[in-house]
Amino acid sequence: MNRYDELFDIRIADWLEGDPELAPAQVLETVRAALPSVPQRRVARAPWRVPMVLRVGFATAAIVIGVAIGAGLVGQPSGNVGGSPSPSPSPSATISATATPRAGIPTSGLVTFTSEVHGYTIGYPGEWDVRPATRKLDGTETPWDYSPAIDHFSTPTDRFGDPAGGPLGALIVGSAVVGPEVTLESWTVDTAVLVCGPPTAPEAVEVDGEPASLLTYSICNHAFHQWVTVLHGGSAYHIIWLGESGARAFDRALFEDILATFSFPPEPSATPTPS
């Protein structure tokens, strides 16, 4: 390193030295307040792996997802996970046929949940715990599983502090109001792909008759993800299943059963009723 390099390095270091050192008090207050609602992951279900978050080619992902979404819109959907049944065989049917039950995941007897914040209705296993959202997502805000902006459904064994432990299974649903410039592709890339990276095989599916994108990740932030993105009535939705990589087939089948019950809120009539 020559003298010029040294001086330049010193200049950078001195400049960085002048930046703030102390965090605002709200940082710690927020963390303290949120901590009780954030469950810890259990080692048994969370193999160590460095998340590949954001070390990805976003342009490539957008192209891949765009092609998948386009194919779904132009041709026959590859997997009809909601709305009216598709008469054609789909990859999801194949996966469902190989699914085997997972101990500790009760799935019988779906009960209906209507989200007061997000407006949709969905069926979920009645034994599961529900933590309703208290607000909508703010734009492309990440729907973390501890966010107050998401409805969180989890298996009874997925609770923090359960000494017996149990298999991970959680459903996350959230939505944000978006402008007309937001497309399914842009919403998917700006949220799911941003957090988890490009998926290996994005699928074009339908949710309650709306074209949707289903991205599957073997591991993202230590969990198996099936991440559905869909637009409806001026809002963009996330419907996310968190599970274990080893239970992929079972999780896919269960996720499809739950998605098939999903219905959007009715859109307000465009023409006012004459008085």
Partner 1 sequence: MGRRAEATVHVELVERAMRGDRDAFTSIAASSADRCYALAYRILRDPHRAQDATQQALLGAWRDLPTLRDPDRFDAWLHRLVVHACYVEARAERRWVARVRVLPIERDIDPDVARSVAARDELESAFRQLSPEHRAVVVLHHHLGYSLAEIADSLGIPAGTARSRLHHAVHRLRLVLNATDRQGVPSEERMA
CB 181 within 8 A of CB 192: no
Among 2, 3, 40, 75, binds partner 1 (CB under 8 A): 40
C-alpha distances out from residue 20 to 16, 64, 154, Å? 9, 41, 40
| Residue with tokens 């307000």, as numbered in its chain | 268
Does residue 3 interact with partner 1 by CB under 8 A? no
Q: How many CA atoms lie within 13 A of 238 on its CB side?
A: 35
Under the criterion CB under 8 A, does residue 183 sit at the interface with partner 1? no
Among candidates 136, 134, 127, 132, which has minimal Cα distance to 158?
127
Instruction: Give the x-and-dash track for 103-142 against partner 1 (CB under 8 A).
Output: ------------------------------------xxxx
According to the binding rule CB under 8 A, does residue 270 interact with partner 1? no
Among 3, 24, 87, 100, binds partner 1 (CB under 8 A): 24
CB of 266 to partner 1, least distance (A): 31
Q: Is position 43 an interface residue for partner 1 (rule: CB under 8 A)?
A: yes
Q: If binding is defined by CB under 8 A, does position 179 make contact with partner 1?
A: no
SS (H, E, C) 176-215: EECCCCCCHHHHHHHHHHHHHCCCCCCEEEEECCEEEEEE
**Could you write out the three-class secondary structure of 11-29?**
HHHHHHHCCCCCCCHHHHH
User: Contacts with partner 1: how many residues (CB under 8 A)?
Assistant: 53
Examine residue 194 and tell whether it contacts partner 1 (CB under 8 A).
yes
Entry field: residues in the chain: 275
Amino acid at 242: L
- Assign 232 to helix, strand or coil: strand
164 lines the binding site for partner 1 (CB under 8 A): no
Pick one of 195, 212, 253, 254: the residue that binds partner 1 (CB under 8 A). Answer: 195
Q: Using CB under 8 A, which residues numbered 52 to 91 contact partner 1?
A: 53-55
- Exactly one of 2, 23, 89, 271 binds partner 1 (CB under 8 A); that residue is 23
Q: Which is closer to partner 1, CB of 13 or CB of 270? A: 13
Binding piece for partner 1, criterion CB under 8 A, among 14-22, 100-108, 109-117, 167-175: 14-22
User: Which of residues 3, 13, 75, 180 is near partner 1 by CB under 8 A?
Assistant: 13
User: Cα-flanking dihedrals φ and ψ of residue 123, to 5°?
Assistant: -100, 140
